[in-house]
Chains A and B, each alone.
Chain A
Amino acid sequence: MSRTGNYDDAELIRGLKADAASGKVIEYLYRANFEALSIHIQQNQGSRQDAEDIFQEVIVAFIELVQKDKFRGDSSIKTFLFSINKNMWLNELKRRNRSVVREQKFETAKDLVDADSNDYITAREARQQVIVVMDKLGDVCKKLLLTFYYENQSMKEIVQTMSYENEQVLRNKKHKCLKRLEQLLTADPALAKTLKTALQHEQ
């Protein structure tokens, strides 16, 4: 297992798998990798802002991958992040419909270190759709679902911080909120398919 500065890869993976992922570990990923990955984008028709935006998506995609136990660890984290970064940038260039020559050049240069990094190239587009659909839920449902499913707080903890009569009332509310979100997704099959591909890595 290779070592990346203050944390080795195993420690980084453990930190990212922890509830909501360790902020220190995410910050470390930025410090250890951003500049190197940024150079690749800036040397390939991208701006500093492009590099920042792509890196943010790279980190989100990588953490999801780790949390779903889909990072196989065939390469080091650094190499894997570089691979996701490269593929996301290629996808972004395609999206911007830039010159065919440049696309071909990038296609041939595509990194084959970790094939599963390619699954995440649609994450950027999906993110915008996630924001839209979550906003449709309303603040109460959004907060309740985030607290339970992202922050992994128990019903007992949530009932103390949010003004619900008891756990059952809270549980019923959470069920309704999740069902509402499910309905928003199923109401738009194309959206559901895109998000399924992006978030669950189904082709």
Chain B
Amino acid sequence: MSNNISQTERLISYIDGDMGDAEKILLQQQLQADKAMQQELDNLLLATDVVKNYGLSNRVANIHTKMMNEMAATSTQQKAIVRSLPKLFMKYAAVIILLVGMFGLYQYFAVSADKLYSEQYSAYTLTTSRGNETLPAIEQAYSEKKYNEVIAAFKQQRDASVKENFVAGQAYLAEANYADAINCFKTVLAKNSSTHTGLLSDDSEYYLALSYLKNNETAEALPLFKKIHNNKEHLYNSKVSAWFLRKLQLLSWKQ
């Protein structure tokens, strides 16, 4: 037994590196000759490997727990950020879409020919280049806002001029007779077209478009207003905005 203990102690000292060189060489020679001794050494070495493996496994297990918690926290944070960004974006997008939708709906239901006409219409003021000369009766009556007199005088004309047609058109508009106003402005444009002149053409186009609008003929009014909007040289271009055209479009869908 004491020999065995002594042998075990020697083997452990050998494993632990506590042996001197001479003793180590002697032991190695004995190991080559003694299989049982070699077997005990192998078993003791296995025992030290078990201890090292146990220690390492515990150490890694502790680090493993720490790292898994750290990674889970990072992953949660990243997910939260990744999730919250689209969520926030979607929220704002939804609010904007809702507001735009509500505004669109409001515009759709609120828009009317009367409203648009009121926004755009202003009574035409006649200009004269004749200084203090006396105005023709029809123009004089219009200047004095005697629209019925204008209309009566116009009706008596056999071949009314471009200007007389235009003034009559304005008088009809003022008297809310939109159909006749339309005829007058159309006549102005037709006459100009046939004579290749442009007297009061821009004015007539604008007031014709207004007359169509007020007469609930939006489909006729829309292309005229678009033409005015697209022509930067048109006298009434600044009066026909893109926003007005959008509302007019809404009105045409409504009708």
How far is B60's CA from A26's CA once the two chains are assembled, in angstroms? 8
**Interface hub of B47, B52, B68 (most chain A Cβ within 10 A):** B47
Residues of A within 8 A of B145 (CB): none
Whether A27 lies near B59 (C-beta < 8 A) is: no
How far is B44's CA from A149's CA once the two chains are assembled, in angstroms? 12
With A23-B63, A56-B64, A130-B54 known as contacts, the answer to whether A175 contacts B49 (CB < 8 A) is: no
Query: What residue of chain A has the Cβ atom nearest to residue B12's Cβ?
Result: A175
Whether B56 lies near A150 (C-beta < 8 A) is: yes
Which residues of chain B (21-76) have a CB below 8 Å from chain A?
A: 40, 43-57, 59-61, 63-64, 66-68, 71
How far is B67's CA from A127's CA once the two chains are assembled, in angstroms? 20
Whether A64 lies near B56 (C-beta < 8 A) is: yes
- Cβ-defined partner of B53 (8 Å) among A59, A127, A151, A179: A127
Taking the nearest CB of chain B, how far is it from the CB of A136, in angstroms? 11
Whether A56 lies near B53 (C-beta < 8 A) is: no
Residues of B within 8 A of A182 (CB): 40, 43-44, 46-47
Residues of B within 8 A of A64 (CB): 52-53, 56
Whether B67 lies near A27 (C-beta < 8 A) is: yes
Segment with Cβ contacts to B, from A4-12, A100-108, A156-164, A191-199 = A191-199
How far is B64's CA from A180's CA once the two chains are assembled, in angstroms? 30
Which residues of chain A (14-62) have a CB below 8 Å from chain B?
A: 20-21, 23, 26-27, 30-31, 34-35, 52, 55-56, 59-60
Taking the nearest CB of chain B, how far is it from the CB of A173, in angstroms? 12
Is the contact region of chain A dominated by helix, strand, or loop, or is it mixed? helix
- Cβ-defined partner of A179 (8 Å) among B8, B67, B68: B8
Whether B60 lies near A181 (C-beta < 8 A) is: no
Query: What residue of chain B has the Cβ atom nearest to residue A63's Cβ?
Result: B56
Taking the nearest CB of chain A, how far is it from the CB of B46, in angstroms? 6
Whether B46 lies near A150 (C-beta < 8 A) is: no
- Cβ-defined partner of B50 (8 Å) among A20, A52, A55, A130: A130
Query: What residue of chain B has the Cβ atom nearest to residue A193's Cβ?
Result: B46
Residues of B within 8 A of A126 (CB): 53
Is B175 on the interface with A (CB-CB < 8 A)? no
Residues of B within 8 A of A131 (CB): 54, 57
Residues of B within 8 A of A186 (CB): 43
Residues of A within 8 A of B51 (CB): 134, 145-146, 149-150, 178, 181
Whether A60 lies near B57 (C-beta < 8 A) is: yes
How far is B63's CA from A55's CA once the two chains are assembled, in angstroms? 12
Taking the nearest CB of chain B, how far is it from the CB of A18, in angstroms? 12
Residues of B within 8 A of A20 (CB): 55-56, 59
Is B114 on the interface with A (CB-CB < 8 A)? no
Whether B47 lies near A178 (C-beta < 8 A) is: yes
Residues of A within 8 A of B53 (CB): 60, 64, 126-127, 130, 199
Is A112 on the interface with B (CB-CB < 8 A)? no
Chain B 1-19 per-residue mask, 1 if CB under 8 angstroms from chain A, else 0: 0000000110010001000
Whether B8 lies near A21 (C-beta < 8 A) is: no
How far is B55's CA from A67's CA once the two chains are assembled, in angstroms? 13
Residues of B within 8 A of A170 (CB): none
Give the 7 A-B CB pairs with smallest separation, nearest first: A150-B55, A30-B67, A181-B47, A199-B49, A182-B47, A149-B51, A145-B51
Residues of chain B having any CB pair with chain A under 8 Å: 8-9, 12, 16, 40, 43-57, 59-61, 63-64, 66-68, 71
Q: 11 A–B contact pairs at CB < 8 A?
A: A30-B67, A127-B53, A131-B54, A131-B57, A148-B16, A150-B55, A178-B12, A181-B47, A185-B43, A195-B49, A195-B50
Told that A26-B63, A35-B71 touch, could you supply 12 new A-B pairs with CB distance under 8 A?
A23-B63, A56-B60, A130-B50, A134-B51, A175-B9, A178-B48, A179-B44, A182-B44, A185-B43, A186-B43, A195-B50, A196-B46
Residues of chain A having any CB pair with chain B under 8 Å: 20-21, 23, 26-27, 30-31, 34-35, 52, 55-56, 59-60, 63-64, 67, 126-127, 130-131, 133-134, 142, 145-146, 148-151, 174-175, 178-179, 181-182, 185-186, 192, 195-196, 199-200
